[in-house]
Structure 1
Amino acid sequence: MFTRWGDIAYRWRRVVPVIVVAVIALLYLLVGTKLGDRMSSEGWDDPHSESTRAAQIEQDVFGRDASGDVILLVTRDNPDTDLSSEEVRTDFTRQLNAISSSHPDQVRQTLSYFDGQQAQLITDDGSAAFASVSLQGVEDEVLKNYREIEDALHSIEVPGATVEVAGATAVSGALDTGMSDDIARAEVIGLPAVALLLILVFGSVVAACMPLLVGVLSILGSMGVLSLLADITMVNTFAQSVVTLLGLGLAIDYGLFMVSRYREELAEGRDVRTAVRNTTASAGKTVVFSALMVAVALSSLLLFPQAFLKSVAYGAISAVGLAALLSVIVLPSVFALLGRNIDKWTLFHRGRTKEDTVNSWWGRVPAFAMRHAKVLTVGLVGVLLLLTVPLGGVKFGGINETFLPPDDTTRVAQNNFDENFPELRTDPVKLVIRQDDGASAVGQVYQQANAVEGLTGQFQVSQPTKDGVTVLSAGIADRDDNDRIVN
């Protein structure tokens, strides 16, 4: 089959690349450019877990808890600043009300110390106070609404004080922005760096461009595939990072197989047609079966209930599949077009034939390994075991500000808020109580729950009884103690 395709690729060498590039371009332009609007920032939780079911009950009865969406933390810069002064309260309230009135579709309500002067919204020493902004919508709508007012929130100023933006939605927004920036950096920095590395490997500019061609096409094509999937199922934004990393990495890997084998065939004296056929039959088969094995391994992620893990599988499998297909379909035709020009613009010569390769450094390394097989096996296994030692300190948890860099402004703001107002932190533990026999059960749960040590304060009624459902909430003082307290 692969030999036959090599002949077809050579025969239709002027047609195949044009058709494939046109299909990828149309797929990207028609649907791939819409990927950002179709992807979701949700899908981190197991939809069948107890906590998710409890959150759904709370939302069905009381609506989404939006109290911790956005926090505007105001901290005085020096003791002379009085946050409770009428001047400060009036100025801050004016700015916040202006945002609320100009964005009624985004802002549900606000709760501010500077408006109502509630004692729990300011620290005992008066050094910090805050306002909370509840947003309209559910799931992805919340983040989109936050984006509409994000710049306005960051523009709020208080003379003699620092205004920081924190809250659950602000953290989600910072994570989303961080991933988008990482992807941009990978594309802007990664591609030129890889191109330079490929030139060093091949010694030829034209040969180095072959893997890059496959990499770019596979990324664009995978974005189109993900966009189509996002139109029918949830695809987390994390998938786009996977597409960039795997699409570029594996395309270069597979491109290296194909280009190296093709140049080797030419160096052995084969004509272009035979070289294309042999390359496709040998390296092409390796690429396809390698991609199949990787795809099968990645498909195990589809067994997990979390949508973001499924999204990783969607992105990875599409990137791997396209990288392999493009390497086997496009590159043989491009080789046929280039012929011996694959070595055009050669900067320095590398060994080409099998004999040259065997006698090179690359051939001497495995020869050395085979002569010292036992020692190297034991040594390398020992090194690999040592590399697993850091796993002993790994900490698992949900999505929160700790996923952001330590100096990220949103993470710093959230840490400052939690430190100043530990009992009002935006990620409390909640008890959702559903009962049929009045308030007695709530009282029993309340007493037992408050006997647990490690809370920032006593459980409080955050949602009074409605339709037989009551919600109690409290903060956990130390995240490392989550498991014990929840259990």
Structure 2
Amino acid sequence: MFEKWGHFSYRHRRLVPLIVIAAILAVYAIFGTQLGNRMSQEGWDDPGSSSTAAAHIEQDVFGRDNSGDVILLFESPDGRSLNDPVTFGAVASHLESLKTEHPDEIAHVTSYFDTRNAQLINEEGTRAFAAIGLRGDGEQTLKDFRAIEDSLVAEDLPVETRVAGATAVADSLDDGMAGDIVRAEVIALPVVAVLLLFVFGSAVAALMPLIVGILSIAGSLGVLSILAGLTQVNVFAQSVVTLLGLGLAIDYGLFMVSRFREELDKGTSVPEAVGTTTATAGKTVVFSAAMVAVALSGLLVFPQAFLKSVAYGAISAVGLAALLSVTVLPALFGMLGHNIDKWTVRRTKRTARRLEDTVWFRVPGWAMKHAKLVTIGVAGLLIALTLPLAGVKFGGINETYLPPSNDVRVAQDDFNDTFPAFRTEPVKLVVTDATEQQLVDVFVQLRDIDGLSSQFTPDHGTVDGTTVLSAGIEDRDLNSSVVDQLRALDVPEGVNVYIGGTPAMEIESIEALMEKLPWMALYIVVATFILMALVFGSLILPAKAIIMTVLGLGATLGILTAMFVGGVGADLFHFTPGPLMSPVLVL
């Protein structure tokens, strides 16, 4: 089948790439350019969790809690009190103008400068804050923030103004990921081009995998945009899909180009070389893509929409990379023929010496002669690299994932330190169907919860039998302890209690991942074992591949733990050690 397709591609070598490339460019132009407006910041939570139920109940009864959307942190640069009439009046006027100029985006502004609440200013009177609640829900919240972002800091104020808050952090993370993707593509493509030029020695040959890589990125973005119009696609999925699609496309391109040149070196005619390349390397590419796609489909086991969106996008990227490799490349090979070696910058001398004389033959040859020693040594090294995994910690995405010098992160850290009772990530308890006495019984128990920066207080009055209580947590390391204590509450009969807020959402999301992870691992092992057994006709080779994958994966997670949890290289690479983002384990 593959050889027949290769000959078909040769016979229609002008038509095939024209149709495929035109289709990809059309998908990118129509859909891919709209991707930025379709991506979601949500999808991290477990839809069936208590924290998700708590958020829905609170929003249905009271509306979205927007008290921590945006924080403006005001600080007197010369130590002068913010109660100075000139300073006080200037800040109050600025906040009032924000509400006046942006009525469609700003729902309310709560600050020391309109309430003189002593809790909203530090003891020295040099630092105070304003909490801005945005009107939008869901994705509209971030759009509202971006609409007012340029107006938040006034240059003529006699104080230093910094921006923090949950939505500001989300915007910085979004900008950071978008910038990282662009940098990765801008840096990766030229570096890969140089490496390919070194490997192949020919500019034309080196260009082939790059063509597939660039088309794969464009097509993947278009497909991801289409998916975003049908289901929730998290913004983080774009970076995974883009880099995965680029990497596999270049990898598959290497297979195809190398095999085609080998066939030409044997003296095979161009039509036969195209057919043989497609029948051998093309078949390998398709089965490789199938196994990767099956492994990625394991992400669909998890309840989080974020992981499902990564699965949809990544599977489409892998499929597209394989499709381009067995359609566009054979046709291009047919048009180029022996010109595949044109514009040679380095003579690779592929036929000047025997295969047995190359380093690529001698190294594995030596390894096979010393099989026991190499196996024990390499396996021991990988196991040693896995050991740091014992200290792994998982957490949710927050401002600590921003660079230490990021303005929003610095402002958020200073706000949390100065006003711990108003942390923008409180833990919440949503109580329904409670009498006044039952609510008092719950409230009394909440006084004994350890690890809080302030006691639980009601966010609103009781409405329709629903009460929302919230409190800050002293440190994120105590999130699990506080949630466990809340789960142990003696809830009065007939009363429903839901633990909510960002800390509970993160804990329950991690628990959902850990619960489903063994099933995902079992599915991937069984499915890939069956596929490889069918392809290779052997049971030993699939078993060997799975063992190697487990060792490699363990070493990878061990290195990640040593770096990002243990702090190895933190100063060199400019990051703050902390818990790994929980989906990293799955991905």
For normalisation by structure 2, the TM-score amounts to 0.81
Displacement after TM superposition at 1:188 (Å): 1.3
Write out the 4+ residue segments of structure 1 that deviate beyond 3 Å after TM superposition: 154-158, 353-358
Q: Match of 1:36?
A: 36
SS at match of 1:234: coil
Cα pair 2:168 2:408 within 8 Å, conserved: yes
Letter in 2 for 1:118: N
Is structure 2 residue 23 aligned with structure 1 residue 20? no
Cα pair 1:92 1:156 within 8 Å, conserved: no
Cα pair 2:81 2:124 within 8 Å, conserved: no
Displacement after TM superposition at 1:375 (Å): 1.1
Q: Match of 1:174?
A: 172
Letter in 1 for 2:126: S
Letter in 2 for 1:66: N
Q: Match of 1:410?
A: 408
Distance 2:457 2:206 in 1: 64
Is structure 2 residue 128 aligned with structure 1 residue 129? yes
Q: Match of 2:279?
A: 281
Cα pair 1:14 1:337 within 8 Å, conserved: yes
Q: Match of 2:46?
A: 46
Q: Match of 2:256?
A: 258
The structure 1 residue matched to 2:438, chosen from 437, 441, 455, is: 441
For normalisation by structure 1, the TM-score amounts to 0.97
> 1:29-72 deviations in whole A, cap 9, x for unaligned?
11111111111111111111111111111111100000000000
Displacement after TM superposition at 1:154 (Å): 3.5
In structure 2, do the counterparts of structure 1 residues 154 and 243 end up closer, same or farther at CA, with 3 Å as the change threshold?
farther
Displacement after TM superposition at 1:424 (Å): 0.7
> 1:168-212 deviations in whole A, cap 9, x for unaligned?
101111111011101111121111111111111111111111000
Letter in 2 for 1:471: V
In structure 2, do the counterparts of structure 1 residues 157 and 467 end up closer, same or farther at CA, with 3 Å as the change threshold?
farther
Letter in 2 for 1:61: V
Distance 1:408 1:155 in 2: 20
Q: Match of 2:423?
A: 425
Is structure 2 residue 451 aligned with structure 1 residue 486? no
In structure 2, do the counterparts of structure 1 residues 262 and 87 end up closer, same or farther at CA, with 3 Å as the change threshold?
same
Q: Match of 1:193?
A: 191
SS at match of 2:162: strand
Q: Match of 1:82?
A: 81
Displacement after TM superposition at 1:164 (Å): 1.2
List alignment gaps of at least 5 residues for structure 1.
Answer: none
Cα pair 1:69 1:133 within 8 Å, conserved: yes
Displacement after TM superposition at 1:355 (Å): 6.7
Matches within 5 A, 1:144-163: 144-155=143-154, 158-159=157-158, 161-163=159-161
Letter in 1 for 2:476: R
Distance 2:297 2:352 in 1: 36
Cα pair 1:6 1:281 within 8 Å, conserved: yes
Displacement after TM superposition at 1:353 (Å): 5.0
Q: CA RMSD in A?
A: 1.4
Displacement after TM superposition at 1:276 (Å): 0.4
Q: Match of 2:71?
A: 71
Q: Match of 1:462?
A: 459
> 1:103-145 deviations in whole A, cap 9, x for unaligned?
1111111011122211111012223100011001111000011
List alignment gaps of at least 5 residues for structure 2.
Answer: 485-587
Displacement after TM superposition at 1:156 (Å): 5.3
> 1:63-91 deviations in whole A, cap 9, x for unaligned?
00000000001123332x11112211211
Q: Match of 2:470?
A: 473
Q: Match of 1:96?
A: 95
Letter in 2 for 1:112: S
Distance 2:127 2:386 in 1: 44
Q: Match of 1:202?
A: 200
Cα pair 2:94 2:154 within 8 Å, conserved: no
Displacement after TM superposition at 1:92 (Å): 1.2
Distance 1:140 1:378 in 2: 52
Cα pair 1:70 1:134 within 8 Å, conserved: yes
SS at match of 1:42: coil
The structure 1 residue matched to 2:386, chosen from 378, 385, 388, is: 388
Distance 1:94 1:238 in 2: 39
